[in-house]
Structure 1
Amino acid sequence: MNLFDLKGKKAVITGGIHGLGMAMAEGLAQAGAELIITNNTLEPLETAIEYYKNKGYKATGYVFDVTDEVEAEKQVTAMETAHGQIDILVNNAGIIMRVMAIDMKVEDFRKVIDVDLVGVFIMSKLIAKGMIARKAGKIINICSMMSELGRDNVSAYASAKGGLKMLTRSLATEWARHNVQVNGIGPGYFATSQTEPIRVDGHPFNEFIISRTPAGRWGDPEDLAGTAVFLASDASNFVNGQVIYVDGGILATIGKPSNE
């Protein structure tokens, strides 16, 4: 299965310190990639790097804010100096603020857009320069169900993720001729530490997700690993500008089918 072999590849995963980001990073590492993990604070990054190393993966961490173009450029230069070419970029760093639109401060709206969309543009632009020069590279943007669907109290997040879908298509269009593939992954609802409080039996949202998902369950973080490896590998060399939704079938249906 050489198509999926990532041995010798260097993969940058922004915000790859827990949850879905960590699951995708582990998938890439299991396929042979060296991990370069970023975060905007040191302590959780150190904890994540220790975890990766204890699992036997080669991993290094860099602390910076992806929305700070000047600092991001310095850190990307440092990465390329220390590790050589960057073959894979996973734009995973993001935030969400659950506030009704009528109550949301404009400064908070802008902050979500800045992290979830502008930060992706900054990192993609910086790392794509080397990929374009080498005529090879894989960029994976972490989109969302909210790239397609609206929901109350996440107007900023949905706006950012909808924009990220279109940024993915635009960058793919610009860079395809340089053999750089830019695609997205749109996770559905996953069982992580963040969703644990609402996944208990009897919780209305837990019941809603299970009843709305044809698979009848929350996703396991490991369910994202295969898609990440596919989009990072030679297996996806002619896949470009696509968002693959890993959602248990939610977007395919208006409701979970009956048992009949």
Structure 2
Amino acid sequence: MVFTDEQLKDFCMSRCYSLDGQTAVVTGGSTGLGLAITRCLVSAGAKVVVLSYESEEQACASLKEFGDKTVFYQFDITDTAHTQEIAGRILREHGPVGILVNNAGNHCKKYIWDMTVEDYVKVLNVHLVGAFALTKAFVPQMKELGRGRILFQASMTSYIGQPMVAGYATAKAGYLGLIHTLTAELAEFGITVNAIAPGWIDTPMFHKAVDNDPPRLAKIMGRIPAKTVGDPMDVGMCAAFLCSDAARYISGTCIPVDGGALIGF
């Protein structure tokens, strides 16, 4: 089929990037970058099921602006004994899930000589084990649908060394191996698996880290060719793109949203 310029524009805007009729699950989707992802998925037409360990009161206050386009379930992603149960409940109450965004995370900022094995394992359980369990729970129905979009929230620490985040860096680097294997297993079923690696983004966590540390801020800014930190919506828009039909032939990759920081000198 040959499109006119106007037809192509209409096709791309109304279909390629639309998430109308899609149901997405976003872990940690009521705060920080997760909230930006929720906002962008809703704007593209999706209904978003948010999973988070925070209280219903806190989450609903953040999600109020979206009305009935979001729904919240309190769930600890590390409670893998009940992952299948929460996934089944979501499928019963909201129908097929075509999008899963593994965004939940935590930190343990300690040098390795101060970090306990329990500290290390706790971080891995949130980022890797919990995300793996939830992905495993939703994959069978995605195979039945013949379509699926699975995203993982990676990091600059997937690629570069930073002190005091051994568990976090291990988990974020682990996502790269996971998306490669899952792509090899799931691509033939119409399921794409990708990751996003946010750079330095203008969030409360960023300001907490740099506002009272001018040398650290200068070091960060000197590494970013764009000469500015990112906006949370930059990450959200990338997620919406990867979940859309416009990205149907993209799988097994990790997209840095970093203003060029990974190649910055």
TM-score (norm 2): 0.91
Q: Does 1:117 align with 2:158?
A: no
Corresponding residue number in structure 2 for 1:99:
110
Counterpart of 2:43? 30
Q: Say whether 1:167 aligns with 2:167.
A: no
Pair 1:134 & 2:145 matched: yes
State the distance in 1 between where 2:209 and 2:119 align: 24
Q: Distance in 2 between matches of 1:227 and 1:26?
A: 12
Match of 1:242 in 2: 253
Check conservation: 2:48, 2:71, Cα contact below 8 A.
yes
8 A Cα contact 1:172 1:240, kept in partner? yes
Matched, 1:232 2:243: yes
Between stretches 84-93 and 200-209, larger displacement belongs to: 200-209
Structure-2 residue corresponding to 1:84: 95
Instruction: Number of aligned residue pairs: give it.
Output: 252
1:150-195 deviation per Cα after TM superposition (whole angstroms, max 9, x unaligned): 1111111111111111111111110011110000000001111112
- The equivalent of 2:62 in structure 1 is 51
Distance 2:198 2:243 in 1: 16
Please say if 1:42 is aligned against 2:65.
no
Q: For the aligned residues, what is the CA RMSD?
A: 1.4
Post-superposition offset of 1:202? 6.4
Letter of the structure 2 residue corresponding to residue 23 of structure 1: A
8 Å CA contact 2:30–2:63 kept in 1: the answer is: no
Q: Which runs of 4+ in 1 moved over 2 A?
A: 46-57, 197-202
TM-score (norm 1): 0.93
Match of 1:258 in 2: none
Identify unmatched segments of 5+ residues in structure 1: 256-260
